[in-house]
């Protein structure tokens, strides 16, 4: 069973700071310029802990430790008097529509069943795990929650969360600043986060029971989950934000790719591309996205090389390879089949950049030539769960679950 428990979180003292000024997105989607913007909002913005920088003789992990201890001593951060589960409501807009996503933050316990009941869907890498391990050991706390999706086919869990949230005023409220300082994508409209600290044993027991018979999918936070599990002698669990799988406000978007060609001749690259793909030029990005999304079958992309956009379709002869049969997804085909053929070898890690905004990807191509952008189709959540159940890991940054679980609402101190 997936076991969750309440915990005594460290939270911002709302008599000392405005929560809207101090929350931040997850560390791995914050650009350098966005970090500067967040720091300007408040000397206590959470990005200073979540994504610290070296200061003089202190490395960034020691800086985070010093800041956390200082904020506790100053009363900027205070610890809950009772263990709680934290229900959240995230109101946002997407493509002109308004949504409200309910979820909750609790500790996901590392019991004997956790390896079978908690499913990851993306590969992990050593460098991010080393970074998050160093930070965890320095601050002796989990600063931001991972993001998991819980099954809720009968919507009972969603109704329970709604009823609890409607029963009382929020404990805390934050307006996400606009434009959102994530450094990627376009501003999509106002966002508001409400939080309720729930200490009532019956409500907590109902949430615990709701997960007893199912599995949870890690949406974001694979590296932090791995680090917490490796250090379970310290923490025994991982702070987790849960959302309901059948909530229409849970959105899964693609992450597009920009490939920098380096020393490869653009003409050679284009010839290789047209040798393995059918190539259909389009008049606009909008037309290309529409035509790509209308197509069935794997290996369809919107391609932009700096001069024109085109829909490309990987030929069937390429798709007969084993990797395409095992995980017939665009992102897997792109990274494991197509790009190595075009590059002539395995593509260097630093030759690929990622963004959920296709327009930003095209802008990046225009700014740095030679390069090309690859627009991808979204992967259905059911497909992600199915592959995760089979322990088939997708390439990194294959999915963009939206909205993100913001950091700074709760801290889990050891």
Kindly report the average pLDDT of the chain as a whole number. 92
- Top pLDDT among 184 and 19 is at 19
Alpha-carbon distance 198 to 104, whole Å? 10
pLDDT at 69: 98
pLDDT at 179: 44
Alpha-carbon distance 255 to 399, whole Å? 6
Three-state SS across the chain?
Answer: CCCEECECCEEECCCCCCHHHHCECCHHHCCHHHHHHHHHHCCCCCHHHHCCCCECCECHHHHHHHHHHHHHHHCCEEECCCCEEEEEEEEEEECCEEEEEEEEEEEEECCCCHHHHEECCECCCHHHHHHHHHHHHHHCEECCCEEEEECCCCCHHHHHHHHHHHCCCCCEEEEECCCCCCCCCCCCCCEEEEEEEECCHHHHHHHHHHCCCCCEEEEECHHHHHHHHHCHHHHCEEEEEEEECCCCCCEEECCEEEEECCCCCHHHHHHHHHHHEEEEEECCHHHHHHHHHHCCCCCEEEEECCCCEEEEEECHHHHCCHHHHHCCCHHHHHHHHHHHHHHCCCCCHHHEEEECCHHHHHHHHHHCCCEEEEECCCCCHHHHHHHHHCCCCECCCCCEEECCCCECCCEEEC
- Top pLDDT among 213 and 376 is at 376
Domain boundaries, the chain: 4-252+400-413, 255-377
Percent of the chain with pLDDT over 90: 77
> pLDDT band at 319, cuts 50/70/90?
confident
Residue 254 has pLDDT above 60, yes or no: yes
- Average pLDDT of 4-12? 98
> pLDDT band at 326, cuts 50/70/90?
low
pLDDT at 188: 58
Residue 323 has pLDDT above 70, yes or no: no
pLDDT at 211: 85
281-295: pLDDT as tens digits: 999 888 998 998 888
223-250: pLDDT as tens digits: 999 999 999 999 989 999 999 999 999 9
Contact 215, 151 (CB under 8 A): yes
The pTM (predicted TM-score) of the whole model is: 0.92
> pLDDT band at 48, cuts 50/70/90?
very high
pLDDT at 141: 98
153-192: pLDDT as tens digits: 889 999 999 999 999 999 999 998 654 433 334 445 689 9
Percent of the chain with pLDDT over 70: 95
127-157: pLDDT as tens digits: 999 999 999 999 999 999 999 999 998 899 9
195-217: pLDDT as tens digits: 999 999 999 999 999 887 789 99
């Amino acid at each position: 069973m997936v076991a969750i428990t309440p915990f005594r979180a460290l939270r911002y003292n709302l008599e000392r700071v405005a929560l809207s000024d101090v929350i931040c997105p997850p560390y791995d989607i914050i650009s350098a310029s966005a970090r500067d913007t967040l720091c300007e909002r408040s000397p206590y913005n959470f990005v200073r802990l979540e994504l610290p920088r070296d200061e003089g003789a202190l490395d960034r992990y020691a800086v985070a430790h010093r800041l956390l201890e200082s904020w506790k001593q100053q009363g900027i951060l205070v610890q809950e008097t009772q263990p709680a589960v934290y229900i959240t409501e995230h109101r946002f807009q997407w493509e002109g529509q308004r949504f409200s996503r309910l979820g909750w933050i609790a500790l996901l316990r590392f019991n004997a069943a956790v390896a079978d009941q908690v499913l990851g869907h993306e590969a992990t890498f050593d460098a991010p795990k080393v970074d998050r391990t160093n930070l965890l050991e320095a601050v002796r706390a989990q600063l931001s929650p991972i993001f998991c999706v819980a099954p809720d086919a009968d919507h009972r869990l969603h109704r329970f969360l709604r009823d609890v949230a409607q029963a009382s005023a929020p404990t805390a409220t934050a307006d996400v600043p606009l434009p959102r300082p994530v450094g990627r994508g376009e501003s999509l409209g106002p966002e508001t986060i409400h939080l309720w600290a729930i200490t009532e044993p019956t409500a907590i027991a109902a949430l615990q029971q709701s997960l007893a018979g199912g599995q949870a999918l890690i949406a974001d936070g694979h590296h932090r989950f791995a680090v917490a599990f490796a250090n379970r002698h310290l923490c025994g669990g991982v702070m987790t934000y849960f959302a309901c799988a059948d909530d229409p406000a849970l959105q899964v978007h693609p992450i597009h790719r920009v490939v920098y060609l380096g020393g490869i001749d653009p003409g050679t690259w284009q010839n290789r591309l047209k040798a393995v793909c059918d190539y259909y030029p389009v008049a606009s990005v909008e037309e290309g996205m529409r035509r790509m999304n209308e197509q069935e079958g794997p290996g369809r992309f919107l391609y932009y090389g700096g001069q024109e956009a085109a829909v490309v379709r990987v030929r069937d002869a390429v798709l007969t390879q084993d990797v395409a049969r095992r995980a017939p997804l665009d992102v897997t085909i792109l990274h494991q089949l197509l790009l190595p053929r075009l590059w002539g070898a395995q593509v260097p890690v630093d030759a690929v950049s990622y963004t959920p905004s296709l327009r930003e990807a095209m802008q990046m191509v225009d700014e740095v030539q030679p390069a090309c952008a690859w627009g991808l189709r979204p992967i259905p959540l059911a497909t992600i769960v199915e592959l995760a159940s089979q322990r088939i890991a997708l390439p990194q940054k294959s999915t963009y679950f939206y909205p993100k679980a913001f950091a700074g609402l709760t801290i889990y101190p050891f």
